[in-house]
Amino acid sequence: MRPIQLVCIFSFLFACSAPQVQKAEFDQEHSFTTPLGKTYEIPSPSSKFLEQYHAAKATYESNPEDVEALIWYGRRTAYLGQYQDAIAIYSLGIEKFPNEPKLYRHRGHRYISIREYDKAIADLEKAAELIQGTANEIEPDGMPNALNIPVSTLQGNIYYHLGLVYYLQHEYEKAYEAYLKCRESGSNYDNIVSSTHWLFMIQQRLGNPAKADSLLAPINADSTVIENQSYADLCRLYKGWIPVDSLTQTGPGNPSNDAVRYGVANWYLYHGDTAAAKELMEELLNSQAFSSFGYLAAESDWIKLFEK
């Protein structure tokens, strides 16, 4: 599971209505406004990301019936922040390959990015339906880690994103069931710490601290993560192995920092320190990574708990 890197490499969106899949270039928006009315300037993508996008586009155009080529075209488009265009690419793929779960998994992810949560749920539930009775498989990385070892799987990612979108909708029981399936999808420790983090938070939200603690059984001090160090550190906090102050982070927003910031804010919330939780969420919502999972969770909580 790669929740941190899979979520938003660049924190920006492009609002393109009815995008054309074969369009050579995109019309770039210069800012994005969140549901809370916060407006952010959109940075330009790097030359590396643009080169990767053009290569994926060319591969797809020379192999339009290759579902993997289409998926990578969509992924590289999304890595540029072109979420609406990526959704259009995946939608074209679904017309061609209506029983391909990968297309629903990736389109559902990008519906999360643009806050269309009901559509995300529909896609991810469809993906979960289509994988029933099939063997799990490694999902290749778009941005390989330092060891170049993929740590996520198709089934793990489907259930991870499904759990996330239910969490963002405050449907905690459904989120819990999805994250249980995510954790059961593979024994990779990166998957264990990421899913356990959400499982623990959900049961705390539901007012079940004893059950939350019982879910920490797979966490141990000797295991090593490849990518999800933030979630591993949060699980160490939940186990009581490190103090909460050791996880306080400052600096520009990024997916890793946002994961920790949100986890700590939520920790204060269910320990009764609403003022500290609110302050941390406000700091997070003033950062730049406005489509990271931590940011999205803080945004959803702010609207439900604090925006009166």
Q: What is the pLDDT of residues 63-117, one digit of tens each?
A: 999 999 999 999 999 998 888 899 999 999 999 999 999 999 999 999 999 999 9
Q: Is the pLDDT of residue 217 over 60?
A: yes
Compute the C-alpha angle 281/232/80, nearest 5°: 65
3-state secondary structure of 40: strand
Q: What is the pLDDT of residue 254?
A: 61
Q: Quick one: pLDDT band at residue 248, thresholds 50, 70, 90?
A: confident
Give the integer Cα–Cα distance in Å for 157 and 191.
Answer: 9
Q: Helices 154-168 and 101-113 sit at what angle, rounded to 10 degrees?
A: 30
Q: Is the pLDDT of residue 8 over 60?
A: no
- Measured CA to CA in angstroms, residue 251 lies from 57, 286, 287 at distances of 35, 11, 9
Q: Is the pLDDT of residue 5 over 50?
A: no
Compute the C-alpha angle 76/78/83, nearest 5°: 150
Q: What is the pTM of this model?
A: 0.89
Q: Helices 117-130 and 154-168 sit at what angle, rounded to 10 degrees?
A: 150
Q: Is the pLDDT of residue 206 over 50?
A: yes
What is the maximal distance between C-alpha atoms in the chain?
A: 58
Under CATH, what is the fold of the domain 3-306? 1.25.40
3-state secondary structure of 41: strand
Q: What six digits make up the tokens of 293? A: 């999972």
Considering only residues 234 and 34, tell me which one the structure prediction assigns the higher pLDDT: 234
**Mean pLDDT calculated for residue range 235-245:** 96
Give the integer Cα–Cα distance in Å for 114 and 90.
Answer: 15
CB distance 201 to 11 below 8 Å: no
| H helix or E strand, kind and range, residue 33 | strand 31-33
**Average pLDDT for the chain:** 88
Q: What is the pLDDT of residue 257?
A: 84
In the chain, % helix, strand, coil (3-state, to 5) comes to: 60, 5, 40
Give the integer Cα–Cα distance in Å for 251 and 266.
Answer: 19
Considering only residues 145 and 27, tell me which one the structure prediction assigns the higher pLDDT: 145
If we measure between CA atoms, which residue out of 263, 259, 246 comes closest to residue 292? 259
Listed by start position, the domains of the chain span 3-306
3-state secondary structure of 163: helix
